[in-house]
Structure 1
Amino acid sequence: MRTLSLLAVLLVLLLVSHPRNAADAHGHRFGKEKLTNLRFYLHDTLSDRDPTAVPVAHGAGATPRPGDPTPFSTVYVVDDVLTEGPQRTSRVVGSAQGLYASTGRHGLGLVLGIDFALNDYNGSSFVVFSRNPVTDGDGRELAVVGGRGAFRLARGFALLRTHYLNTGNGDAIIEYNVTLLHY
């Protein structure tokens, strides 16, 4: 009988703590977890008179190498445009704001901390904080670590494919295929 009572208590605790019953500090219930797949293109422009990525800090000795417009230890602040297709004239679907640092001493590698706000979701956003080994080719995977609004408590991943990269000036168009689990 004692074992049965203990099992009943454990079952109740499991049901109460299950994510479907989760509530935030204000008592808001999150409801059922959702799966969302997104596809868009990020336009990162370092050149031009109106760049969307600007270097704001760099370590001592951070000098550009031929074919490397993002020298090791340089930190960039970004406000990139997100579009539906790879052309800059495609419908704008949002913006990506944050920063990235050039962390590859022997090749182009970046660590990103960027908030992706999407117009079709009333400005709701998800956050990527991950390493982007740019020269590893297509299918690079970055971690989604959070979100707000429609993407509250988001987690997931983004698969990246380089659509365009100018190694002379650093301009790039990157295709993002994102899978989100959120409430």
Structure 2
Amino acid sequence: MHSTQLCDVLRNPPLWDHALALYQRPGVANACLQLQDTAGADVCELLWRCWLDHHALVPTEQAYRTLDEIRAWQAEVTQPIRYLRRMLKPRARHAHDVATLRDHLKEAELLAERETLRQFQALSETLHAVRKRRADDASLTMQLTRCLTIHEPTQEAALATLTTQNTAHHP
């Protein structure tokens, strides 16, 4: 598959649309947040990997070597916004102005995550960053297990929910 065909495939649906639809499926939001909070997962990276799986694609070694820039964006921009939003949650219950600030932080966090997904999509559309999945490739569950710290049955259940819903989400 050449790059023009790959770009056409990856834009149907684009990562943002797929991520929104998958995240709204039963149990997916809670599963993603649990994996984020207990297994060190980056929700955007989880959704990117699910989207690639949806298109029967897997990241190549070249993609893995270029993830540092996207991960830096998450660490330097998204995570500090998330930290502030979470820190303000108890105060927001009792102070309208703090609640308004927290709402703005929630919007900023979503915009930062959207930018992360745009970066993942752009990476995927570059030559040699993804390839067609082969029969001998690890399943999505195994791919995700390798990059996460999965030690507890609740984490395994969250991962199963995510991968099952991603499979159910395929047209």
Q: TM-score by structure 2 length? A: 0.23
Q: TM-score by structure 1 length? A: 0.22
- Larger Cα-atom Rg: 1
| Structure richer in strand, relative to its length | 1
Q: Which has the higher contact order (CA 8 A, sep 6+)?
A: 2
| Structure richer in helix, relative to its length | 2
